[in-house]
């Protein structure tokens, strides 16, 4: 959601009462919940994966702690998913830049057995 000059991550009850809570503080995108609802992961503007520990207080949500897990995530800004998290929050599947140079050209030699007879 973008209510300020930058993209931030918010959580709000659905359906139900209670206001929304801002999860990120310095910008964020691509949020994912851990399956037990105790953490929200998101990508910070500097491409670090962040983990926000949250706690339910009745109808509202409280951010307990936010920490950086690791960096180098590819943030596309489109509908492409750059990462996902396992149900227990212990493993991540991440799209990373390859860093590889352009592949070498492929050379195809046709009728190579004819060259063996010479």
- Tell me how far apart the alpha carbons of residues 45 and 31 are, in angstroms, rounded to a whole number: 13
pLDDT at 75: 60
- Supply 73's token pair: 């995530």
pLDDT at 50: 93
Burial class of residue 40 (count of CB atoms within 10 Å of its CB; 0-12, 13-18, 19+): buried
pLDDT in tens, the chain (118 residues): 445 678 999 998 887 777 789 999 899 988 999 999 899 999 898 888 999 999 988 778 899 999 999 887 766 555 566 788 888 888 888 776 666 666 778 888 888 888 787 6
């Amino acid at each position: 959601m973008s209510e300020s000059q930058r993209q931030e991550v918010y959580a709000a009850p659905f359906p139900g009462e209670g206001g929304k809570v801002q999860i990120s503080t310095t910008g964020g995108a691509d949020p994912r919940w851990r399956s037990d609802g105790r953490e929200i992961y998101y990508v910070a503007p500097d491409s670090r994966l962040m983990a926000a520990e949250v706690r339910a207080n009745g109808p509202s949500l409280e951010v307990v702690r936010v920490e950086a897990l690791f960096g180098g995530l590819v943030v596309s800004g489109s509908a492409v998913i750059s990462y996902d998290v396992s149900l227990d929050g212990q493993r991540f599947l991440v799209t990373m830049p390859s860093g590889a140079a352009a592949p070498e050209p492929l050379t195809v030699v046709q009728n190579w057995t004819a060259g063996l007879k010479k």
